[in-house]
Amino acid sequence: MTRLAQWLDPTRLALPLAVAAAALGSTLPAQTVRGTVVEHESRQPLAGVTISLSTPQGDVLQTSESNERGEFAVRAPGKGQYLAIFRRVGFQPAISAPFEVGADDVELFVSLVRAGTELDTVVVRGKRGVTTGEEYFTRHQALGRGTFFGPGDIENAGTTYLTEVLEKAPDIWIDRIGARMEPVVRSRKGCLEVRINLQPLPKAAQPAMDRRDWAVGQFLGLDEMYPTKRIAGVEVYPRFEDVPAEWQPMLEKRCGAVMIWTNLAW
């Protein structure tokens, strides 16, 4: 039986939400993505949620809708990698990290957050097979590649600035750009992709290339959005070749990667 776990993180759409996914063995027909959608606070089932199954490139292949019990099922065209997108009026949309559909069904457990609610990333665990940030961290540390900062390392760094922790890693340096000297994490080995709980950085944490972005308070920056008190672990891979094989397909380019784990995903 294959198993899979993915976080659905607000950073993908710069919106808070919560989801974890697990590929579970099932007696139901193969190559089906199914699961349950609930309201985040009450955990009550949500009907009328539109579920779109798409390719990692964003091409929608199939759609379905949750019933009164919050249950849904979407038939995948075949084996391969997909994304699931969840939308309902009055709630913030959710989008998954890529997951594999194979011989087993994929079962998703989704909690949608009402529009206007401010939340950090929350991990809603499925029945089994869900991998936490700490489990990823420990497994990858055993591979002997990259640099790792655990909870103790971050606390001992004695700083509230995440970038001051990151620049302790070999081949990593912090560039400062613009009038506000906004931090950009770079690798001396080439391009670098920074992710939070498996997902790309939200727009608000990325450098503002247009002065109007920060003039109206839209730009917070990496250190402001993710102070060290919110961070449990960091994995640093300056080169693409160092990135764990299970993560390489999710990167937009063949770049090194920094994976930041918040306390709630740990």
| Cβ burial, residue 163 (10 Å; 0-12/13-18/19+) | buried
Dist CA 39 CA 239 (whole Å): 40
Provide the 10 A C-beta neighbour count for residue 142. Answer: 8
Provide the 10 A C-beta neighbour count for residue 227. Answer: 13
Residue 185 makes CB contacts below 8 A (sequence gap 6+) with 163, 166, 172, 174, 175, 192, 194, 222, 258
pLDDT of residue 93: 77
| Cβ burial, residue 23 (10 Å; 0-12/13-18/19+) | buried
pLDDT of residue 137: 94
Could you say which residues of the chain have pLDDT below 70? 1-30, 57-58, 97, 116-131, 178-180, 202-220
* pLDDT tens profile 210-264: 433 333 333 457 787 788 998 999 999 999 999 998 888 878 889 999 999 988 7
Residue 39 is which amino acid? E
Q: Closest Cα to residue 50, out of 91, 85, 13, 99?
A: 85
Residue 60 is which amino acid? V
Give residue for tokens 């089906």. Answer: 32
Structural domains for the chain: 5-130 (2.60.40.10), 134-265 (2.170.130.10)
Q: For residue 118, give the 3-state DSSP assignment.
A: coil
pLDDT of residue 204: 54
